[in-house]
Amino acid sequence: MRLIKAILLRLVTTAVTLFGVALIVFFVIRVVPGNPIAMMLPPGATDADVARLTALYGLDKSIPTQFLIWSTGVLRGDFGVSITNRQPVLALVLDHLPATLELSALALFIAVFLGGTAALIGTRLRGTRVEAAIDVGNGMALSVPDFLWGLVLILLFGVLMPLFQISGRITPSLTLPFSTNFYLVESVVRLRFDLTRDLLSHMIMPAMGLAIPLAAIISQLLKQSLKEVMHLDYVALARTKGYGETHVILREALPNAVLPTLTLVGVQFTFLIGGTVIIERLFSFEGLGNMAIDAVINRDLPLIQGIVILFAVIFTAVNLLVDLCYAAFNPRLRHG
């Protein structure tokens, strides 16, 4: 009963948060100087043309009225029409979302893999130079944000040792047999591994840039949790039973140390998704973030609103999911 009440409360606060985001974005971008309508018309357009188009986009009404019209539209799934592309915002956003999702998922995978491996090696070889090196590496990786790691990677593996592609999502000359925008997933499903290779060659560096700081966080926290668990009696018991150190770490310590890290990964994942905005720009990766910056530069009000709302929905959804997972994994919270 208490769990249901807690979930309902979370849903209500989530709704309030999303409404707040919508309200702030809506009003902030309407203070933007520069008339987007005048920008989209050819130079010879008359004032009457501008006025007619302004009315068409509803920009002649008062701001509260515009908000009312827009928000009732959103509730029906209508986010308006992009001013620069003249396509429905929802379609545009959904077109670019898969690229960003695939990039974030790959980055998360790399971060968990690198961070987890580093933590396990550091624990297995604790007290040695390897552990010290891992600690220093973690400190460095955490000190510098994704944007700078992306640039460092461009220099190292794009210029110095040109192993990977540094711009775009896929080589433009390739003909694509895809029917969705989840290119990576589809290339695997269709067994077109040549395309998978090309996609990964474009995605690996932006994904690494996003993953490095998160990998360090995972490594640090997991190592800390493992260290605490390793002192407990049941671990000592497993040792006296004659299990090797690696077995003790993987089978006995890890399952009990992993929960705090899981929760943190969830929260940090939202930061990673936020980081895609600048990383996509840096690597000219055609995802949601890159489109968002273009939309701001072009003063495309409906598109900006749509993208920001979508990001906010993703963020709050991830946070909600993390909390639910935490409740599901943690028996103390379930019966509390």
Partner 1 sequence: MGDGRIQVRRSAGARLWLSAGWLLFVTLIAIFAPWAAPKDPLAQDLFSGRLPPFWVQGADKTFILGTDSLGRDVLSRIIFGARIALAVALIAGTLTCLIGATLGLLAGFLRGWVDVVISRLIDIWMAFPPVLFSVLLIAVLGPGLFSIILAIVVIDWTRFARVIRAEAMGQGAMDYVAAAQVAGRSRLGTMLVEILPNVLPTIVVLLTLEMGIAVIVEAILSFVNLSISTDDPTWGGMIAEGRTSVHQAWWVLVFPLVTLFLTVLAFSQLGEGLKDRFDPVLR
Q: List residues near partner 1 by CB under 8 A.
A: 13, 16-18, 20-21, 24-25, 28-29, 31-33, 139-140, 142-145, 147-148, 151-152, 154-155, 158-159, 166, 270, 273-275, 277-278, 281-282, 289, 292-293, 296-297, 299, 304, 307-308, 311-312, 315-316
Q: Say if residues 174 and 140 touch (Cβ distance below 8 Å).
A: no
Residues 6+ apart with CB under 8 A from 322: 263, 266, 267
Question: Using CA atoms, how far apart are residues 203 and 216, in angstroms rounded to an integer?
Answer: 20
Kindly tell me which of 58 and 274 has the beta carbon lying closer to partner 1. Answer: 274
Shortest gap between Cβ of 165 and partner 1 (angstroms)? 13
What tokens does 278 get?
Answer: 């600048």
Question: Using CA atoms, how far apart are residues 247 and 259, in angstroms rounded to an integer?
Answer: 19
What tokens does 63 get?
Answer: 């701001």
Shortest gap between Cβ of 48 and partner 1 (angstroms)? 28
Shortest gap between Cβ of 267 and partner 1 (angstroms)? 9
Shortest gap between Cβ of 144 and partner 1 (angstroms)? 6
Q: Say if residues 122 and 223 touch (Cβ distance below 8 Å).
A: yes
Q: Which residue in this structure is represented by tokens 């009003």? A: 27
Kindly tell me which of 195 and 215 has the beta carbon lying closer to partner 1. Answer: 215
Question: Using CA atoms, how far apart are residues 323 and 234, in angstroms rounded to an integer?
Answer: 29
Question: Using CA atoms, how far apart are residues 319 and 325, in angstroms rounded to an integer?
Answer: 10
Q: Say if residues 302 and 79 touch (Cβ distance below 8 Å).
A: yes
Q: Say if residues 295 and 303 touch (Cβ distance below 8 Å).
A: yes
Among 207, 212, 225, residue whose Cα is nearest residue 122: 225
Shortest gap between Cβ of 99 and partner 1 (angstroms)? 15
Secondary structure (H, E, C), 76-141: CCCCCECCCCCCEHHHHHHHHHHHHHHHHHHHHHHHHHHHHHHHHHHHHCCCCHHHHHHHHHHHHH
Kindly tell me which of 194 and 228 has the beta carbon lying closer to partner 1. Answer: 228
Distance of CA 149 to the CA centre of its chain: 16
Shortest gap between Cβ of 107 and partner 1 (angstroms)? 15
Shortest gap between Cβ of 210 and partner 1 (angstroms)? 12
Kindly tell me which of 94 and 152 has the beta carbon lying closer to partner 1. Answer: 152
Kindly tell me which of 235 and 293 has the beta carbon lying closer to partner 1. Answer: 293
Kindly tell me which of 186 and 315 has the beta carbon lying closer to partner 1. Answer: 315
Shortest gap between Cβ of 58 and partner 1 (angstroms)? 20
Kindly tell me which of 187 and 316 has the beta carbon lying closer to partner 1. Answer: 316
Question: Using CA atoms, how far apart are residues 100 and 106, in angstroms rounded to an integer?
Answer: 10
Shortest gap between Cβ of 226 and partner 1 (angstroms)? 17
